[in-house]
A and B are shown apart, each in its own frame.
Chain A
Amino acid sequence: EAQVTQNPRYLITVTGKKLTVTCSQNMNHEYMSWYRQDPGLGLRQIYYSMNVEVTDKGDVPEGYKVSRKEKRNFPLILESPSPNQTSLYFCASWAWENPGELFFGEGSRLTVL
């Protein structure tokens, strides 16, 4: 079954404690992207990747890092989380030849105290 898997789904942490949200897709997609969703602001793109070892900033990259060492994985790293990073995070993937068919993970709800 084609899917994008995010972990953890729910996380409560404290300011400054490094954390990683993993994202994995099984469709051999070239593109992967991270979004955050906040009330009244919609989904905003954090980082995206066009292929292995190729990443670029989205609209709200501050405070986040990503890596793409393997095609299937695109982890989101918060080196020093702060309360303003409390949000719902989504990972998505799509094939370059079919950009309209995005597959989203089920979301990771992060709370930073």
Chain B
Amino acid sequence: KQEVTQIPAALSVPEGENLVLNCSFTDSAIYNLQWFRQDPGKGLTSLLLIQSSQREQTSGRLNASLDKSSGRSTLYIAASQPGDSATYLCAVRPDTDKLIFGTGTRLQVFP
């Protein structure tokens, strides 16, 4: 059974720091992996999608990598800002109908 784990569960950093969020999964048979952002009282917003054949994706200050063989993905946030404060979730897609989510990393960036 696919399990997705995110470490750390919570992170508090000063503004301007570069940081890395980790996601690991137990079964490497996935179609893709996706990173989401969740703000309090809001739904999820997709940040980056990495297909199983890809190694990384970039969007602005965000860079996500995927190492399928080791069952790991990282989300790198450059020059963090207070507006980046949110919960970050990774999810793997074992087939077209399902997404399996990790429990998230709650990030706080303070000025």
**A residues bordering B, Cβ < 8 Å?**
4, 31, 33, 35, 40-45, 48, 50, 56, 58, 90, 92, 96, 99-102, 104-107
User: Which of B96, B99, B104 makes the CB contact (< 8 A) with A102?
Assistant: B99
Q: Which of B34, B89, B100, B103 contacts A100 (CB 8 A)?
A: B34
Flag if B103 contacts A101 (CB, 8 Å).
no
User: B49 near A106 (CB under 8 angstroms)?
Assistant: no
B43:A105 contact, CB within 8 angstroms: yes
Chain B interface size band reads 20 to 34
When distances are taken between beta carbons in the complex, the residues of chain B under 8 Å from A58 are 98
Residues of chain B within 8 A of A4, CB atoms compared = 43
By the criterion CB–CB under 8 Å, are A42 and B99 in contact? no
In the complex where A41-B103, A100-B32 touch, is A50 in contact with B97 (Cβ < 8 A)? yes
Contact B44 A90 (CB under 8 A): yes
- A79 CB to nearest chain B CB (Å): 24
The answer to whether the Cβ of B61 comes within 8 Å of any Cβ in the partner chain is no
CA distance A44 to B99 in the complex (A): 8
- CB B13 to nearest CB in A, in angstroms, measures 23
Expressed in whole angstroms, the minimum distance between the Cβ of B101 and any Cβ of chain A is: 4
How far apart are B85's CB and chain A's nearest CB, in angstroms?
18
Contacts A33-B99, A43-B91 aside, 18 further interface pairs with beta carbons under 8 A come to A35-B101, A42-B4, A42-B89, A50-B97, A56-B97, A90-B43, A92-B44, A96-B96, A99-B31, A99-B93, A100-B32, A100-B49, A101-B46, A104-B43, A104-B45, A106-B41, A107-B41, A107-B43
Establish whether residues A43 and B101, one from each chain, have CB atoms under 8 Å apart when the complex forms.
yes
* Residues of chain A contacted by B41 (CB below 8 angstroms): 106-107
